[in-house]
C-alpha cells in the first residue's frame, strides 16, 4: 500500500492512496497562496496600481519591465493570478479510479485533474460539498473573467531569472506548473463527474474496497473518510472540528481501530482561540462604525461567514448597530445564503430542529428580511445606488488579489477611520496587504479557524487509537515562528510518518487476509472436529471462484458420469473418482506398539520416523493396505 | 434453514392502516404504523395484540420505521408508542419527522374536538412519541444495533417519502412504502440500486392500472377546471395539505399565469403557508428542476393562490378551492362538498385515491344517494403518486429481489399483478392478508472461518504432520531398453488417464500428478523391468490404481 503526496499544503491536501487494486485520490486541494505574488486585479482602473514602477535588478541586468512591478519594497508579477496545482508528474493521474472530497475548500483543483489528465473515474462528495464547492468555483471564475488581463507573464519563470529575483518570488516552487483559473465549462464538466453520497453511506469500489464518508464537523457537508477492506482500515481525517458551530458534529467513534490514519487539515492558527477572535471581531467592528468608519471583511462566500452573520445577528441590537447597513457582495452571495438554508440534514441539532417548526435554520434569513443585510452580485448595478456609509462589507477574495474586495481596498485604504478585519486564516495578512502599502486604514487580524488544534488532535488520537499516523511534515515540528512551542506539534508513539510534496510513502501495512465466501452446500459438507479447546478444524477441497473481487468457495464439480464404455474389458481401467480427499495425518507411530501388531510378512521395508512413515513393498496390494491401516491406527486424522 | 417472516397487521390485501411486521435474523421490525380512514372504531388502528396480548411492545420490537407522513402510514404511531407502549427507536426521514406531527395533531383535532371521541391520543402523546424519532438520511447506513442495519432510498410519492432496506447479516428485505416511478412537477422518481433483497415488499395500489402519460392527465385536468370556470362554476379539489396539493398548485399557478385568468384560487387550510414553507426548506427532496432553480425562483411561492375563508364558499362567481381532507371523509372539504354538490355547474375533482368507506370512495363509485342530493359533476383524475403496474415491474427489475410480497392494494388487483410478476420474473410472489404470515427461507449464513493451508493449520495448532509414503515395486516383462520402457509407460498412461497431469521428466521419471514412477532392469533378466511407484497417502487412491494397472503389463500395440 502506497501513498503519493501531491500537495505540500497541509490544509489543502491532495494525496493518492493505492490500496488493494484501487487508486484513490484523497482531496483535490488548490494551493491559492501563489496568487499573493501577483498584483491585484482592480475592477475599475486604478491609477495607483498602473503607476507602480517596474522592478529592475540591482546590477540592472534583468529588466522585465512588463512583468514585474515593485510596491513598497516588494516585487509582484503583473499578470492574471496563477495557482499552484497538485503535482502531476509523480504518477499517471489517468489511472485514478475515484476521488474522495472531504469539504468544499479541498476540491478547488478538481477541474485541473478531471479535465486534463485523462481521468475517467468518479468523484464522491456530499451534496452540500458539491453545491457550495460549485459556488466557490463559479465565484473564482467570475472574479477572473470579468477583469480579463491580456498579459500572461512567463519570462520571470525562467530558472535563471527566478534565481535572481528577491524573495518570496525566488523561493516559489514549481512556478512553471502554475496555471491560470479554469473556465466555467471546465467546472461544469468536472462537477458532472461527482456522485453524491450521504454520511455513513457505504460505497463499494469494484467489490475490493468500501469507502464511507463521516461527518467531520468543520463545514456544511464536510467529511472524513473511511477506506476499508474486510481486514484493513484506513482513516482519512481532513478538516475536522470539535467546536459547536453550524455543521453536524464530528463522528469520532467510526474512526476507531484503523491501521493507518492520514491526518491533514489541522488548524492553521494553533494559538488563536476562535471564540476570542469572534469577540474581537465584533468589538473592532462596533468601534469603527461608531467612529464613523467603514469595516471591510475579506472572506469566502460560504463557511465562517454564516457564523459571523449569526454572531452579528445577536450583537447588532446590543451594540446599537441597528441602522448600519451590512453588505455581502459576491456573484454567489444570494445562492450561498439560500443554499445554507436547505441543508437541514447536515446541520447541528439546534439548527435542525428549527426546520421542524418550520423556520429557516440560519438567522441571516431574518437579517435579510429586515433589510439589515443586503446582498449584491457585484459593486456594479444596484449596489452603487444603495451604497451608504458607514457600513460593513463582506466580500472576497480573502487574498485581496481579485474580486470586489480590491475595489474597497483602493476606496477605503487611505483613511485611518476605516478598518479591515481579517477572519480567514488561509493567507498571511501582511502578505495580503503588501501591494496596498502604504496603507492608512486600520488592520485587525482575528483569524477564525475552527479546525482541530494540537491539543484536540492528540486527545482524539488517544481515543481512536490508529496503529500508524501519516501527516504533513509541518505537523511534526513546531511552527518556524514559534520554535520553542513543543506543544504545537504532534508527538506520538510510534512517531507519525511525515510527508511533503512529492513524497511516496510505503505504508506499514501487511495484508494478510482476504474474505472468501463459502457456499452453503459446501459449508454443509464440512465436518469440523475440535482439535484444541475452542479450535475446530476441517479440511476443505473446493474450487475458488473469483469475480468482481469477490471470492467464493464452491464444491468441486462432480465429473460427468463416464459414457458407457464400448470395450467391456477396459472397464477395470477407469481411473478412480476421488470423492473426498484423504485426511491430514499427524502424530508419530510408536515403534514398540507397532511391532506388536506385525506378523510374519514378506520382504517389506518399513521406515518409521518422528514425522513420517515409508512403506516399501512388492506389488502386493492386500499386504500394503493391511500395513497402511495398521499405521493409520496410530495416527491422528485431521 | 433460516427464515424471514412477514406479517401485515394492516395493508394486507387492503389499502389503509399500513403496518407490516418483519422477522429477520432474530430481529423484529415494524414497517409503518398507519390508520384506516374508512373506520371509526377499533379497526381504525392495526391490531397490536397480535404482537403481545398484554404489556408493552418494546421488548418485542427492535425498531419501527415510518416510510412517509401520510396518515395511513403513521396515523397510529402515538397510539402504538404511548398507549400500547413502545420506547425503542422510530426511524423516519427529516421531512417526515417535520410534517408527521402536524398531520397527527390535525387528525387528533378532527377526531377529538370535532367528533368528540374520547380515549384517543393527546397532543402531549404526539410530542412524546416524536421524541423517540431518530432521523434518517438518504443512503446513510444506520446501525440499529450490532447486527441490524437500515438504509433509506428516495421514493418520490410525497416530500420525504423513503423506501427502506433492512439487513441482518446476509439477509435483507426492502420495503417500498408508497412510491412513484415517474417524476412529477415537484418530486423526483423513486430509485434503488441492485441490492437483491430476499424479499421486496411493494405497495400495489395501482396494480392493474397503466396510466397514460402525465402530460395528458395534466392537460385534461386543466381543461376541465378551465371549462368549469368559464361557465361560472365552482371547482372543489379535495386534497391532503401536503403532497398532491403542491403539485396541483404549481400546475394551476403556471396555467393561471399563462392564460391570464382572474378567477380566485383558494387553499382551504391554515396549513398552506406552513406547508409551502416545508417544501422550501426541504427543497433537496424535490425534483431536479426545482432544486436547480430555487435560488432564482422558488416554485413554492404562489402568487395566484390565496388563503380560504369559510365565508368565501357562498361568494357568487367561479372559484377553485383546494380543501382538506382528500377523501371527503370529514372536515372542510366535506362541508364545501355538501354546500356545492347540488349545483350542476359545480365540479368535484378527486385527484387521489379514496379508501373504502369514505364518502370520496362512494361518490367515485357512482353512489349518488348520499345524504345530500348531489348533482355536481364528479371527476376522478389519478394524480396520486403511486407506481402503476409498469412502475412496479420497473422497480423489481432495479432491485432484483429473490421473492416478492405485495401489500397496500386490493386483493383482486393484487392477484392479477402476482400472476404477472411470477410469470415475468419467475420468482415467488406473496400477498398475505392481515394477520397472515408469509415465510421465505433464505441461505443460512456461514460463521466466520479462517482458511489456511494445511501446513499453516498444523503449525498454528502445534501439531506435526506425519508423512505416510508408499513405494511399490512392480515387475514387468518388457523387452526394451529402460528409457523405451519408460516411454511406453508414459504413452500407456496418457491413453488411460484422461484429464490427469502426466509428465515425462528428463531425470528418467514419469510423474502422474505427484506420483513418481521409475524404471530399472532386473540384474538377472534384462527383459524383466522393475518399476518403482512412490506416492503419499494423499494420493492413495490413484497410487493404488496405478500399481494395479501397471501390474497387468503394457499393451503390446504400444510403440
Q: Average pLDDT, stretch A200-227?
A: 96
Give the model's pLDDT for residue B323: 87
- CB B537 to CB A582 under 8 A? yes
Q: Average pLDDT, stretch B412-430?
A: 95
CA distance A354 to chain B (A): 10
Domain spanning B3-210+385-440 has what CATH number? 3.60.15.10
Distances (CA, A) of A323 to A317, A362, B182, B436: 9, 21, 50, 69
Do A393 and A411 form a contact (C-beta atoms < 8 A)? no
Question: A528 burial class (0-12, 13-18, 19+ CB within 10 angstroms)?
Answer: exposed
Q: Which has the closest alpha carbon to A9: A84, A96, A94?
A: A84
Identity of the residue in A358, A516, A535 whose CB atom sits nearest the CB atom of B281: A358
Pick the range with the lowest mean pLDDT from A427-436, A616-625, B392-401: A616-625
Q: Which one of the listed residues B82, B171, B203, B379 is annotated catalytic?
A: B203
How many Cα neighbours within 13 Å face the side chain of B325? 23
Query: A317-332 pLDDT, tens per residue?
Result: 888 898 999 999 999 9
CA distance B529 to chain A (A): 13
Report the 10 Å Cβ neighbour count for A536: 13
- CB A520 to CB B470 under 8 A? no
| The pLDDT of residue B537 is above 60 | yes
Does the pTM exceed 0.95? no
Residues of B in contact with A516 (CB under 8 A): 451
- Prediction ipTM score: 0.86
- CB A613 to CB B140 under 8 A? no
- CB A613 to CB B469 under 8 A? yes
Chain A residue with Cα closest to B100: A356
Give the model's pLDDT for residue A422: 97
Distances (CA, A) of B204 to B176, B188, B409, B421: 10, 19, 5, 12
CA atoms of B63 and B190, how far apart (whole Å): 24
Pick the range with the lowest mean pLDDT from A561-575, B121-135, B381-395, B535-549: A561-575
Residues of B in contact with A335 (CB under 8 A): 295
- CB A613 to CB B548 under 8 A? no
- CB A339 to CB B538 under 8 A? no
Under the banding of pLDDT at 50, 70 and 90, the label for residue B348 is confident
Q: Answer yes or no: same fold for B214-380 and B469-552.
A: no
- CB B461 to CB A531 under 8 A? yes
Distances (CA, A) of B345 to A588, B224, B340: 104, 12, 9
Taking the Cβ of residue A581 and every Cβ of chain B, the question of whether any pair is shorter than 8 Å is answered with yes
- CB A535 to CB B461 under 8 A? yes
Give the model's pLDDT for residue B391: 92
Domain limits of chain B?
Answer: 3-210+385-440, 214-380, 469-552
- CB B137 to CB A199 under 8 A? yes
CA distance B519 to chain A (A): 14
- CB A358 to CB B274 under 8 A? yes
| The pLDDT of residue A589 is above 90 | no
Query: A455-506 pLDDT, tens per residue?
Result: 999 999 999 999 999 999 999 999 888 888 888 999 888 899 999 999 999 9
Give the model's pLDDT for residue B374: 54
Give the model's pLDDT for residue B338: 85
Backbone torsions φ then ψ of A145, nearest 5 degrees: -80, -20
- CB A198 to CB B469 under 8 A? no
Identity of the residue in B98, B458, B466 whose CB atom sits nearest the CB atom of A635: B466
Report the 10 Å Cβ neighbour count for A383: 17
Long-range residue pairs from A523-530, CB within 8 A, at least 24 positions apart, any chain: A523/B444, A523/B446, A525/A555, A529/A638
* Architecture category of domain B469-552 in CATH: 2-Layer Sandwich (3.30)
Chain B residue with Cα closest to A616: B471
Task: Show the domains of chain A with their CATH numbers.
Answer: 2-41+80-148+159-267+451-506 (3.60.15.10), 274-445 (3.40.50.10890), 585-637 (no CATH)
Chain A to chain B Cβ contacts (< 8 Å): 166
Pick the range with the lowest mean pLDDT from A106-110, B40-44, B215-219: B215-219
Under the banding of pLDDT at 50, 70 and 90, the label for residue B248 is confident
Written as nine digits, the cell of B427 is: 420468482
Query: B102-111 pLDDT, tens per residue?
Result: 889 878 887 7
Is-catalytic flag, B3?
no
Under the banding of pLDDT at 50, 70 and 90, the label for residue B495 is confident
Q: Which residues pair with B164 in a beta bridge?
A: B152, B175
CA atoms of A277 and A447, how far apart (whole Å): 7
| The pLDDT of residue B179 is above 50 | yes
Q: Which residues pair with A504 in a beta bridge?
A: A4
Report the 10 Å Cβ neighbour count for A107: 30
> What average pLDDT does chain A have?
90
Q: Which of A129, A134, A139, A356 to mutate to test the interface with B (most CBs of B within 10 A)?
A: A356
Under the banding of pLDDT at 50, 70 and 90, the label for residue A301 is very high
Written as nine digits, the cell of B396 is: 423489481
Identity of the residue in B282, B284, B468 whose CB atom sits nearest the CB atom of A613: B468
A 294-353 residues with CB below 8 A of B? 334-335, 338-339, 341-345, 352
3-state per-residue secondary structure call for B99-161 = HHHHHHHHHHHHHHHHCCCCCCCCHHHHHHHHHCEEEECECCEEECCCCEEEEEEECCCCCCC
Distances (CA, A) of B191 to B149, B157, B197, B293: 19, 12, 15, 22
Residues of B in contact with A617 (CB under 8 A): 470-473
Query: A114-129 pLDDT, tens per residue?
Result: 999 999 999 999 999 9
Pick the range with the lowest mean pLDDT from A300-304, A615-619, B208-212: B208-212
- Strand A373-376 and strand A326-329: the pairing is parallel
| The pLDDT of residue B366 is above 70 | no
CA distance B288 to chain A (A): 13
Q: Which of B468, B477, B529, B540 to mutate to test the interface with A (most CBs of A within 10 A)?
A: B468
Residues in chain A: 638
Give the model's pLDDT for residue B371: 44
Residues of B in contact with A578 (CB under 8 A): 541-542
Written as nine digits, the cell of A500 is: 511533503
Do B139 and A201 form a contact (C-beta atoms < 8 A)? yes
A 464-493 residues with CB below 8 A of B? none
Residues of B in contact with A612 (CB under 8 A): 466-469
Give the model's pLDDT for residue A483: 85
Chain A residue with Cα closest to B468: A613
Written as nine digits, the cell of A203 is: 460505497
Q: B214-380 sits in which CATH class?
A: alpha beta
Identity of the residue in A199, A523, A573 whose CB atom sits nearest the CB atom of B549: A573
Q: Which has the closest alpha carbon to A556: A540, A573, A543?
A: A543
Long-range residue pairs from A523-532, CB within 8 A, at least 24 positions apart, any chain: A523/B444, A523/B446, A525/A555, A529/A638, A531/A638, A531/B461, A531/B463, A532/B461
Residues of A in contact with B451 (CB under 8 A): 516, 540, 553
Q: Average pLDDT, stretch A394-416?
A: 96
Q: Average pLDDT, stretch A265-282?
A: 93
- CB A344 to CB B94 under 8 A? yes
- CB A531 to CB B463 under 8 A? yes
Give the model's pLDDT for residue B462: 85
Under the banding of pLDDT at 50, 70 and 90, the label for residue A76 is very high
| The pLDDT of residue B360 is above 90 | no
Amino acid at each position: 500500500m502506497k501513498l503519493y503526496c501531491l500537495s505540500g499544503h497541509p490544509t489543502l491536501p491532495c494525496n493518492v492512496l493505492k490500496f488493494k487494486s484501487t487508486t484513490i485520490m484523497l482531496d483535490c486541494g488548490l494551493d491559492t497562496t501563489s496568487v499573493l505574488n501577483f498584483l491585484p486585479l482592480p475592477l475599475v482602473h486604478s491609477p495607483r496600481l498602473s503607476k507602480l514602477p517596474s522592478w529592475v535588478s540591482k546590477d540592472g541586468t534583468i529588466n522585465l519591465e512588463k512583468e514585474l512591478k515593485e510596491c513598497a519594497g516588494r516585487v509582484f508579477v503583473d499578470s492574471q493570478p496563477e495557482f499552484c496545482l497538485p503535482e502531476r508528474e509523480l504518477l499517471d493521474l489517468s489511472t485514478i479510479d475515484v476521488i474522495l472530497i472531504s469539504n468544499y475548500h479541498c476540491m478547488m483543483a478538481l477541474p485541473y485533474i478531471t479535465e486534463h489528465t485523462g481521468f475517467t473515474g468518479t468523484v464522491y462528495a456530499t451534496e452540500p460539498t458539491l453545491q457550495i464547492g460549485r459556488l466557490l468555483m463559479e465565484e473564482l471564475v467570475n472574479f477572473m473573467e470579468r477583469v480579463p488581463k491580456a498579459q500572461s507573464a512567463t519570462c520571470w519563470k525562467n530558472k535563471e531569472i527566478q534565481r535572481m529575483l528577491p524573495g518570496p518570488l525566488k523561493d516559489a516552487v514549481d512556478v512553471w506548473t502554475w496555471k491560470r483559473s479554469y473556465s466555467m465549462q471546465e467546472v461544469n464538466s468536472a462537477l458532472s463527474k461527482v456522485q453524491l453520497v450521504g454520511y455513513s453511506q457505504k460505497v463499494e469500489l469494484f467489490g475490493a474496497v468500501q469507502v464511507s464518508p463521516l461527518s467531520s464537523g468543520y463545514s456544511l457537508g464536510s467529511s472524513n473518510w473511511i477506506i476499508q477492506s474486510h481486514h484493513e482500515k484506513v482513516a482519512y481525517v481532513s478538516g475536522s472540528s470539535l467546536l459547536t458551530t453550524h455543521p453536524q458534529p464530528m463522528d469520532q467513534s467510526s474512526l476507531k481501530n484503523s491501521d493507518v490514519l492520514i491526518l491533514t487539515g489541522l488548524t492553521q492558527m494553533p494559538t488563536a482561540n476562535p471564540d476570542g477572535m469572534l469577540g474581537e471581531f465584533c468589538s473592532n467592528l462596533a468601534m469603527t462604525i461608531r467612529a464613523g468608519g467603514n469595516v471591510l471583511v475579506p472572506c469566502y462566500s460560504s463557511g465562517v461567514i454564516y457564523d459571523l452573520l449569526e454572531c452579528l445577528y445577536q450583537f447588532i441590537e446590543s451594540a446599537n448597530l441597528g441602522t448600519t447597513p451590512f453588505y455581502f457582495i459576491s456573484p454567489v452571495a444570494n445562492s450561498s445564503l439560500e443554499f445554507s438554508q436547505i441543508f437541514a440534514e447536515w446541520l447541528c441539532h439546534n439548527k435542525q430542529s428549527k426546520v421542524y417548526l418550520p423556520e429557516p435554520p440560519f438567522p441571516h434569513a431574518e437579517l435579510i428580511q429586515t433589510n439589515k443585510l443586503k446582498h449584491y452580485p457585484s459593486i456594479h448595478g444596484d449596489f452603487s445606488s444603495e451604497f451608504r456609509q458607514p457600513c460593513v462589507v463582506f466580500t472576497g477574495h480573502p487574498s485581496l488579489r481579485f474580486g470586489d474586495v480590491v475595489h474597497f481596498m483602493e476606496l477605503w485604504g487611505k483613511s485611518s477611520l476605516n478598518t479591515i478585519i481579517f477572519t480567514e486564516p488561509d493567507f498571511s495578512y501582511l502578505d495580503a496587504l503588501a501591494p496596498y502599502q502604504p496603507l492608512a486604514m486600520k488592520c485587525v487580524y482575528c483569524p477564525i479557524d475552527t479546525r482541530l488544534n494540537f491539543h484536540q488532535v492528540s486527545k482524539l488520537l488517544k481515543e481512536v487509537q490508529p496503529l500508524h499516523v501519516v501527516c504533513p511534515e509541518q505537523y511534526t515540528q513546531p511552527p518556524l515562528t514559534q520554535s520553542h512551542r513543543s506543544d504545537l506539534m504532534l508527538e506520538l508513539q510510534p512517531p507519525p510518518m511525515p510527508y511533503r510534496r512529492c513524497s511516496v510513502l510505503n505504508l506499514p501495512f501487511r495484508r494478510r487476509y482476504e474474505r472468501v465466501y463459502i457456499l452453503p452446500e459446501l459449508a454443509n459438507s464440512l465436518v469440523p472436529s475440535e482439535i484444541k479447546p475452542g479450535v475446530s478444524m476441517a479440511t476443505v477441497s473446493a474450487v475458488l471462484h473469483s469475480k468482481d473481487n469477490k471470492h467464493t468457495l464452491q464444491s468441486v464439480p462432480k465429473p460427468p458420469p463416464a459414457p458407457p464404455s464400448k470395450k467391456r474389458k477396459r472397464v477395470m481401467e477407469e481411473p478412480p473418482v476421488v470423492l473426498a480427499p484423504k485426511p491430514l495425518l499427524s502424530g508419530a507411530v510408536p515403534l514398540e506398539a507397532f511391532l506388536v501388531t506385525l506378523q510374519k510378512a514378506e520382504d517389506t521395508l518399513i521406515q518409521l520416523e518422528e514425522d513420517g512413515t515409508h512403506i516399501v513393498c512388492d506389488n502386493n496390494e492386500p499386504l500394503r493396505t493391511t500395513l497402511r491401516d495398521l499405521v493409520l491406527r496410530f495416527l491422528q486424522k485431521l | 434453514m433460516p427464515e424471514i417472516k412477514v406479517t401485515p397487521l394492516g395493508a394486507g390485501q387492503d389499502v389503509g392502516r399500513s403496518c407490516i411486521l418483519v422477522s429477520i435474523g432474530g430481529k423484529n421490525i415494524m414497517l409503518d404504523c398507519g390508520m384506516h380512514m374508512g373506520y371509526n372504531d377499533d379497526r381504525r388502528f392495526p391490531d397490536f395484540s397480535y404482537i403481545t396480548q398484554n404489556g408493552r411492545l418494546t421488548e418485542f420490537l427492535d425498531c419501527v420505521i415510518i416510510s412517509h407522513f401520510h396518515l395511513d402510514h403513521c396515523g397510529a404511531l402515538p397510539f402504538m408508542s404511548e398507549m400500547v407502549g413502545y420506547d425503542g427507536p422510530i426511524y423516519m426521514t427529516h421531512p417526515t419527522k417535520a410534517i408527521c406531527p402536524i398531520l397527527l395533531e390535525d387528525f387528533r383535532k378532527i377526531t377529538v374536538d370535532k367528533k368528540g371521541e374520547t380515549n384517543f391520543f393527546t397532543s402531549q402523546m404526539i410530542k412524546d412519541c416524536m421524541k423517540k424519532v431518530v432521523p434518517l438520511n438518504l443512503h446513510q447506513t444506520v446501525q440499529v444495533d450490532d447486527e441490524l442495519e437500515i438504509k433509506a432510498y428516495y421514493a418520490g410519492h410525497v416530500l420525504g417519502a423513503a423506501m427502506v432496506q433492512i439487513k441482518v447479516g446476509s439477509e435483507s428485505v426492502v420495503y417500498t412504502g408508497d412510491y412513484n416511478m415517474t417524476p412529477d412537477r415537484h418530486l423526483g422518481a423513486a430509485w434503488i440500486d441492485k441490492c437483491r433483497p430476499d424479499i421486496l415488499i411493494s405497495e400495489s395500489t395501482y396494480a392493474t392500472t397503466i396510466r397514460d402519460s402525465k402530460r395528458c392527465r395534466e392537460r385534461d385536468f386543466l381543461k376541465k377546471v378551465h371549462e368549469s370556470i368559464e361557465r361560472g362554476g365552482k371547482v372543489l379539489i379535495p386534497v391532503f395539505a401536503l403532497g398532491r396539493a403542491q403539485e396541483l398548485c404549481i400546475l394551476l399557478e403556471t396555467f393561471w399565469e399563462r392564460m391570464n385568468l382572474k378567477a380566485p384560487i383558494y387553499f382551504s387550510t391554515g396549513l398552506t403557508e406552513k406547508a409551502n414553507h416545508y417544501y422550501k426548506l426541504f427543497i433537496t427532496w424535490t425534483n431536479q428542476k426545482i432544486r436547480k432553480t430555487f435560488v432564482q425562483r422558488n416554485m413554492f411561492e404562489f402568487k395566484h393562490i390565496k388563503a380560504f375563508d369559510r365565508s368565501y364558499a357562498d361568494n357568487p362567481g367561479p372559484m377553485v378551492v383546494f380543501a382538506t381532507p382528500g377523501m371527503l371523509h370529514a372536515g372542510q372539504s366535506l362541508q364545501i362538498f355538501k354546500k356545492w354538490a347540488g349545483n350542476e355547474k359545480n365540479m368535484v375533482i378527486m385527484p387521489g385515491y379514496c379508501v373504502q368507506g369514505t364518502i370520496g370512495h362512494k361518490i367515485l363509485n357512482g353512489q349518488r344517494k348520499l345524504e345530500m342530493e348531489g348533482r355536481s359533476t364528479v371527476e376522478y383524475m389519478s394524480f396520486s403518486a403511486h407506481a402503476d403496474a409498469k412502475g412496479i415491474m420497473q422497480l423489481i427489475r432495479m432491485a432484483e429481489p429473490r421473492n416478492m410480497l405485495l401489500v397496500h392494494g386490493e386483493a383482486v388487483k393484487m392477484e392479477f399483478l402476482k400472476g404477472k410478476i411470477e410469470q415475468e420474473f419467475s420468482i415467488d410472489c406473496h400477498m398475505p392478508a392481515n394477520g397472515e404470515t408469509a415465510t421465505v427461507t433464505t441461505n443460512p449464513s456461514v460463521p466466520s472461518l479462517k482458511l489456511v493451508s494445511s501446513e499453516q493449520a498444523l503449525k498454528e495448532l502445534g501439531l506435526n504432520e506425519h508423512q505416510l509414503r508408499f513405494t511399490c515395486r512392480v515387475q514387468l516383462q518388457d523387452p526394451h531398453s529402460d528409457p523405451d520402457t519408460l516411454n511406453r509407460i508414459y504413452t500407456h498412461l496418457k491413453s488411460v488417464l484422461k484429464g490427469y497431469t502426466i509428465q515425462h521428466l528428463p531425470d528418467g521419471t514419469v510423474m502422474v500428478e505427484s506420483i513418481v514412477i521409475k524404471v530399472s532392469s532386473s540384474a538377472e533378466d534384462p527383459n524383466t523391468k522393475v518399476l518403482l511407484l512412490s506416492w503419499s497417502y494423499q494420493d492413495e487412491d490413484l497410487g493404488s490404481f496405478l500399481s494395479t494397472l501397471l501390474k497387468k503389463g503394457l499393451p503390446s500395440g504400444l510403440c
